Amino acid sequence: MLNALHNDALGKLILRLSVGGLILLHGIAKLLNPDSLNWIGDQVASQGLPAFLAYGVLIGEVIAPVMAILGWQARVAGLLMVGNMLVAIALVHMGELFTLGDSGGWALELQGMYLFGALAIVFLGSGRMAVRPD
């Protein structure tokens, strides 16, 4: 019974499916609402960068999560999602970085969970339950 709870491959699959699946929903929302990409473009431009860089969010929130879910180049996918979250925090959430939310938790706990979950994928890889195990 105890050995049934020691399944690294299943744990990695659950991590990939949860982090990738939840971030993918944000990417799908952006695809369905292109105005959100314009808003991101405005945020990017306000930092003196070309607004077209906003389309990079589709790499971090659509392509990378699909890669992670499938387990294809999962470490690269994790790195892309980490980059996406760092940019999101830098552009939108810096004022909340050292703030507690209304419920007492970190104001950025959702963003933090995505960031550190993706970072775990970078270090753990896909595991055996993947299109291309690493």
User: How many independent structural domains does the chain possess?
Assistant: 1
Per-residue pLDDT 10s for the chain (134 aa) are 567 788 999 999 999 999 999 999 999 999 999 899 999 999 999 999 998 899 999 999 999 999 999 999 999 999 999 999 999 999 988 888 889 888 889 988 999 999 999 999 999 999 999 998 77
In this structure, is residue 131 part of a structural domain? no
In this structure, is residue 120 part of a structural domain? yes
- Note whether 54 and 76 are within 8 A (CB): no
In this structure, is residue 26 part of a structural domain? yes
Question: What 3-state class would DSSP assign to 97?
Answer: coil
As a whole number of angstroms, the distance between CA 67 and CA 79 comes to: 11
| pLDDT given at position 57 | 95
The whole-model pTM stands at 0.91
Residue 115 vs residues 3, 78, 131: alpha-carbon distances, Å: 30, 9, 23
Structural domain containing residue 52: 8-124
| pLDDT given at position 1 | 57
| pLDDT given at position 4 | 74
As a whole number of angstroms, the distance between CA 129 and CA 30 comes to: 29
In this structure, is residue 1 part of a structural domain? no
